[in-house]
């Protein structure tokens, strides 16, 4: 199917769902704002703009501020498309037929031109930042919880069009990862590796769906390591890259860990851990089937990590005991994954389809997804194994610390950690690993 047809089918489905939800919630009209450019206090330098996920789920316009989508049940949606007269900034590009054909597009010069539409007498709902939409009439419901929850839930099941964008974003990320790996093996700095990633993407870094994590050596033990050192490391032992790409407002979220070319005994052991984690990660991806609980998969990851710790001689005791005593949580302190879409951590991961809160287990507060997998879900699967000094010193002081080979921990700590992350589309006939497919498709 052509991209044009895929997108048309996506919008047809969204319109059907919205008509149904408007009817159920008693609203006649829904407005969805793209968002507004924000400024920090005391400064006139704008913050990077990215449209609200609810808007991007309808329109491939992640960088178009102050646009408004106006949806009436049973009618073609109206798009108020802001193209201001501005000689400071370049306005958004003119509408392109492949998406604009689905809307009644009205070009406006200022947001005031659609503002008045919000103050209508009918039952009106709007999605956006309260500060941007407030004061426009008491009859208007801003972000009504029931409608918002239902729309969020719909967003968890991706259309073919959406899966296609996420797959293309994986293709871009794979090219970036390949270029970054070459820069790492050539001994480059974190900043130089990041620059190689951007060259591989061939995209402006401002379009990244999240700040890429470029971590050499022990930096890989900081889960969201946010710096990029300009100095080349004396010894490049390990390289963790967590970096994605954006296509039409849809994100990919990909992590790979590589071991450097310098041979050492500890390096060999660490490479063994990377291989074991890769094996575990592939197994977890295969188990991402319709009907499986993501909480169970997270527990399965902990059991797998317990086995890896045992086999490497890092910890002694049964795998179950290593999980129950909390030892695996010292080495794997984050969640197995999350929903992915127009937001990297996409919506509704901690809410049941019926709208009930579904918080993570008390033992795993960082888990961002607790749902049972359904066809159409796109999730990340990202187990990790790290040597985090802060957590290790807690373990050392606890009774369970007696089960750890601390000399081996010390030898491996300079390698930082491991994370391997793919994006997986859940289908009735099994999981489709969008990331591995994208890497396989590279030349
Ligand atoms: Mn992720």
% of the chain with per-residue pLDDT over 90? 91
Q: Which residues contact residue 414 at a Cβ distance below 8 angstroms, ignoring those fewer than 6 apart?
A: 217, 218, 237, 266
Residue 380 CA to ligand 1 center (angstroms) comes to 6
pLDDT, residue 121, reads 67
Per residue in 272-283, pLDDT (tens digit) is 999 999 999 999
User: Any bridge partners for residue 384, and if so which?
Assistant: 419
pLDDT, residue 198, reads 98
Per residue in 360-386, pLDDT (tens digit) is 999 999 999 999 999 999 999 999 999
* Residue whose tokens read 């969008």: 434
pLDDT, residue 115, reads 85
Q: Which CATH number fits domain 160-440: 3.30.70.270, 3.90.230.10, 3.40.50.12280, 3.30.2350.10?
A: 3.90.230.10
**190-201 vs 160-185: helix axis angle to the nearest 10?**
140
When pLDDT is cut at 50, 70 and 90, the band that residue 343 belongs to is very high
pLDDT, residue 103, reads 98
Q: Which residues contact residue 410 at a Cβ distance below 8 angstroms, ignoring those fewer than 6 apart?
A: none
Residue 402 CA to ligand 1 center (angstroms) comes to 33
- Cα separation of 295 and 419, whole Å? 19
pLDDT, residue 313, reads 97
Residue 254 CA to ligand 1 center (angstroms) comes to 7
Q: Is pLDDT above 80 for 134?
A: no
Average pLDDT value for residue range 112-120: 83
Burial class (CB in 10 A: 0-12, 13-18, 19+), 347: buried
Cβ neighbours, 10 Å, residue 210: 15
Average pLDDT value for residue range 5-22: 97
Of the ranges 85-94, 119-128, 430-439, which is most confident? Answer: 430-439
When pLDDT is cut at 50, 70 and 90, the band that residue 117 belongs to is confident
Q: Is pLDDT above 80 for 298?
A: yes
Contact 55, 347 (CB under 8 A): no
Paired sense of beta strands 141-142 and 422-427, if any? unpaired
Any idea where the domains of the chain sit in the sequence? 3-156, 160-440
- Cα separation of 193 and 182, whole Å? 8
Residue 11 CA to ligand 1 center (angstroms) comes to 27
- Cα separation of 350 and 344, whole Å? 15
Cβ neighbours, 10 Å, residue 360: 18
pLDDT, residue 119, reads 76
Whole-number Cα distances in Å, 221 to 224, 262, 344, 388, 414? 9, 20, 21, 5, 9
pLDDT, residue 315, reads 98
When pLDDT is cut at 50, 70 and 90, the band that residue 118 belongs to is confident
Average pLDDT value for residue range 306-324: 97
The H or E element that residue 201 is part of is helix 190-201
- Cα separation of 7 and 13, whole Å? 10
pLDDT, residue 139, reads 74
Average pLDDT value for residue range 397-424: 98
230 alpha carbon, distance to own chain's centre:
27
**3-25 vs 160-185: helix axis angle to the nearest 10?**
120
When pLDDT is cut at 50, 70 and 90, the band that residue 391 belongs to is very high
Average pLDDT value for residue range 103-127: 88
DSSP of 48-71? PP---HHHHTT-S-TT-TT-EEEE
Average pLDDT value for residue range 211-226: 96
Contact 290, 426 (CB under 8 A): yes
Paired sense of beta strands 417-419 and 422-427, if any? unpaired
Global model pTM greater than 0.85: yes
Residue 381 CA to ligand 1 center (angstroms) comes to 8
pLDDT, residue 123, reads 82
Q: Is pLDDT above 80 for 122?
A: no
Residue 410 CA to ligand 1 center (angstroms) comes to 28
- Cα separation of 31 and 40, whole Å? 27
Cβ neighbours, 10 Å, residue 48: 11
pLDDT, residue 136, reads 65
Residue 245 CA to ligand 1 center (angstroms) comes to 12
Q: Is pLDDT above 80 for 137?
A: no
Per residue in 151-203, pLDDT (tens digit) is 999 999 999 999 999 999 999 999 999 999 999 999 999 999 999 999 999 99
Residue 210 CA to ligand 1 center (angstroms) comes to 10
Q: Is pLDDT above 80 for 120?
A: no
Residue 225 CA to ligand 1 center (angstroms) comes to 14
Q: Is pLDDT above 90 for 92?
A: no
Q: Is pLDDT above 80 for 415?
A: yes
Burial class (CB in 10 A: 0-12, 13-18, 19+), 420: buried
Residue 345 CA to ligand 1 center (angstroms) comes to 7
Candidates 221, 163, 228; CA nearest to 1 is 163
CATH architecture of 3-156: 3-Layer(aba) Sandwich (3.40)
Residue 423 CA to ligand 1 center (angstroms) comes to 9
pLDDT, greater one: 7 or 1? 7
Average pLDDT, the chain: 95
Q: Is pLDDT above 90 for 263?
A: no
- Cα separation of 133 and 142, whole Å? 8
């Amino acid at each position: 199917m052509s991209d044009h047809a895929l997108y048309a089918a996506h919008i047809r489905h969204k319109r059907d769902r919205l008509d149904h939800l408007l009817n159920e919630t008693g609203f006649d009209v829904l407005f969805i704002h793209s968002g507004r450019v924000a400024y920090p206090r005391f400064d006139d330098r704008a913050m990077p703009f990215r449209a609200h996920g609810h808007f991007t789920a309808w329109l491939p316009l992640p960088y178009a501020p102050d646009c408004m989508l106006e949806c009436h049940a049973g009618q073609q949606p109206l798009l108020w498309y802001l193209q201001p007269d501005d000689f400071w900034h370049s306005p958004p590009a003119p509408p392109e037929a492949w998406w604009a054909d689905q809307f009644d597009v009205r070009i406006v010069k200022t947001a005031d031109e659609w503002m008045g539409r919000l103050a209508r007498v009918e039952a009106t709902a709007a999605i956006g930042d309260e500060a941007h939409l407030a004061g426009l009439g008491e009859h208007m419901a801003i972000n009504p919880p029931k409608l918002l929850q239902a729309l969020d839930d719909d967003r968890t099941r991706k259309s073919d069009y959406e899966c296609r964008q996420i797959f293309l974003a994986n293709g871009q990320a794979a090219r970036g990862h390949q270029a970054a790996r070459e820069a790492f093996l050539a001994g480059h700095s974190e900043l130089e590796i990041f620059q190689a990633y951007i060259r591989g993407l061939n995209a402006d870094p401002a379009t990244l769906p999240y700040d890429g994590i470029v971590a050499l050596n022990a930096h890989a033990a900081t889960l969201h390591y946010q710096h990029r050192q300009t100095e080349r490391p004396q010894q490049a032992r390990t390289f963790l890259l967590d970096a994605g790409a954006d296509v039409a407002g849809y994100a990919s979220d990909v992590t790979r860990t590589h071991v450097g070319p310098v041979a050492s005994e500890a390096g060999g052991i660490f490479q063994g851990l990377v291989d074991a984690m890769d094996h575990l990660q592939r197994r977890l991806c295969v188990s991402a089937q319709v009907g499986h609980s993501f909480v169970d998969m997270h527990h399965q990851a902990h059991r797998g990590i317990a086995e890896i710790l045992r086999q490497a001689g890092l910890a002694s005791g049964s795998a179950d005991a290593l999980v129950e005593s909390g030892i695996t949580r010292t080495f794997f302190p984050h969640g197995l994954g999350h929903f992915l879409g127009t937001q990297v951590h996409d919506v509704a991961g901690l809410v049941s389809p019926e709208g009930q809160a579904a918080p993570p287990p008390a033992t795993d507060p960082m888990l961002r997804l607790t749902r049972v997998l359904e066809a159409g879900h796109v999730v990340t699967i990202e187990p990790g194994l790290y040597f985090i000094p802060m957590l290790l010193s807690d373990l050392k002081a606890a009774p369970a610390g007696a089960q750890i080979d601390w000399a081996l921990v010390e030898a491996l700590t300079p390698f930082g950690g491991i994370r391997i992350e793919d994006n997986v589309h859940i289908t009735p006939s099994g999981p489709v690993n969008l990331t591995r497919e994208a890497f396989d498709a590279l030349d």
